[in-house]
Amino acid sequence: MERTYEFSLKFAVPVRTTEPDDWIDRLAEAGCDDALIGTGIPGRLALEFDRLAPDADSALLSAVADVQRAIPEARLIEAGPDYVGLTEIAELLGISRQAMRKIMAKNIETFPLPVHEGNPSIWHLKDVLGWMRKEQGRAVDAAIEEVSAVACRVNSGRRAVAA
């Protein structure tokens, strides 16, 4: 059974080789007609997908392949949802940021560790959603949890290759 997966992809692209409008046409021809495309920053391309697929892995990896087929020079920067702050987590769970902060503070010993601690602190979404489901008994959208795990794996793999 197929379902719709919502995710984002950010790429570095050549700055002056092609007009952004040409990329939009090429992306649509390559199968990215299920994405909202942003080209506002020179050298960057952002796509917000609503992709129908049998699983999150197929959805996200096929989208990356489609973009790279349309723009072979495109280099993946980040897949999302992965890196999130408390505000994004709260929005996904349908609670206030203050409520999310209280949950974190009350459970500081078991709450997932951030990947960056600062202002703001950043977590892998998959870690927090899994913790909320297991430790707090909160209902979590399965598609979001699934796609966040794939995005985290793709980002980790990209970092490992770059290192």
Q: In which element (H, E) is residue 102 found?
A: helix 97-106
Q: What band does 159 get if pLDDT is binned at 50, 70 and 90?
A: low
Instruction: Provide the CA 119 distance to its chain's centre, in angstroms.
Output: 20
pLDDT above 80 for 76: yes
Q: Which residue ranges form the domains of the chain, and what is each CATH number?
A: 3-80 (3.30.70.1130), 83-151 (no CATH)
The tens digit of pLDDT for each residue in 38-65 reads: 988 888 999 999 999 999 999 999 999 9
The tens digit of pLDDT for each residue in 81-103 reads: 999 999 999 999 999 999 999 99
Whether the model pTM is above 0.75: yes
Q: Name residue, tokens 């299920």.
A: 34
The tens digit of pLDDT for each residue in 102-153 reads: 999 999 999 999 999 999 999 999 999 999 999 999 999 999 999 999 999 9
The pLDDT, as a whole number, for residue 2 is 93
62 CB-near residues (< 8 Å, 6+ apart): 31, 51, 53
Structural contact between residues 9 and 63, judged by C-beta atoms closer than 8 angstroms: yes
